[in-house]
Amino acid sequence: MISRTLFFRLLRGHRVRLAVGLLVVVIWSLLFPVIYKAFQDSIAGKPIPPGAGNFSTLAGTISVGFIHPISIALFGILSAGLTVGALSGERQRGTLELLLSRPLSRRKILATMLLEGWLGAALVSFAYIVGTVIGAQIAGVQDELAFAQLPTLWAYGALFWGMFATIGIAASASFDTTAPSMAITVAFIMGNYILEVIGQFWDVVEPYRYLSLFNHFSPVDLLSNTVDASAALIFMVGTLIAGAWALYIFPRRDLAAPN
């Protein structure tokens, strides 16, 4: 199903990005419980755009952090960012031809590269939770943290960003260079995010917020044990569509053709 040799080579190639990125995510996420504690009284009850979160509860504060633009960038780099240049990057560097000359089916290569993206999504989601737990300990608000809900939050986070990693590999399988695959993936993520954010402030757009994938990812609900299973279904359908496209297009493409 996957090539272990290729998988470990991919991880090795991204090890610095992964290590530094995950460390930054841990540090970033531990700030939110601290912020919650420090500014609890002064900002309690005030909705903080964007996203489904607020600073009046620890769950709301963690939720704000989860869908903050900086988090979106970090999560994106460490999930979709790993897959978006996987195939098109190899093609662009000229290394794809030798990779394809090994006894690996194209689907196996694709699955291996996608697995790295999903691993990134799982790790970054885990790193955020680890940071949150450390932050809660530092701020002394661990009693307010719904530990039992953390695995669910992790799973949804991994599924949500794994879906974008799959969209990244689908784009990567469709182009010969990284620029268009990167542009499409980033535009897709940003489009969804902006629709969700603008929809909170602009009545005209508000009815269409449900079209944004970010609208279905609500950490505050997950931490409050009001899990919406339909959200997971939406993310899975998104993953399946992107994955099916990648599996369809990659084996059919003429690769290593003269430019």
Partner 1 sequence: MSSDNAIETRGLTKHYGKGGTIKALTSLDLTIARGELFGFLGPNGAGKSTAIRTLLGFLHPTSGSASVLGLDVVKDSVAIRRRIGYLPSGFAVYDYMSGKEYLDHMRDLTGRPSLLRHRIMDALELSDAVLKRPVRDYSRGMRQKIGVVQAMETDPELLILDEPSEGLDPLMQRSLQELLLERVAVGRTVFFSSHLISEVERICNRVAIVRGGKLVALETVATLVRFQRRHVSALVTRKPLRMAGISGVTDLKIVAEGRAFRVTCDAEAVAVPKLIARLQSAGIRDLLVEAASLEEAFMSYYGDAHDVVTDIPALPYALATSAVKRAAKRVRRTPATAPKRAVKRAPKRPVKRPAKRASR
Contact 161, 121 (CB under 8 A): yes
User: Judged by CB, which is closer to partner 1: 46, or 102?
Assistant: 102
Place of tokens 């290394």: 95
Contact flag: residue 256 with partner 1 (CB under 8 A): yes
Is 217 exposed, middle or buried (CB count within 10 Å of its CB: 0-12, 13-18, 19+)? buried
Q: Which of 19, 69, 105, 225 binds partner 1 (CB under 8 A)?
A: 105
Nearest residue to 107 (alpha-carbon basis) of 256, 255, 251, 252: 251
Q: Which of 98, 179, 183, 240 binds partner 1 (CB under 8 A)?
A: 98
Contact flag: residue 73 with partner 1 (CB under 8 A): no
Q: Which of 6, 86, 122, 167 binds partner 1 (CB under 8 A)?
A: 6
* Residue 2 Cβ vs partner 1, minimum distance, rounded to whole Å: 12
* Residue 177 Cβ vs partner 1, minimum distance, rounded to whole Å: 14
Structure tokens belonging to residue 49: 């755009």
* Residue 243 Cβ vs partner 1, minimum distance, rounded to whole Å: 21
Contact flag: residue 11 with partner 1 (CB under 8 A): no
Site residues, partner 1 (CB under 8 A): 3, 5-6, 9, 12-13, 93-95, 97-105, 252, 254-258
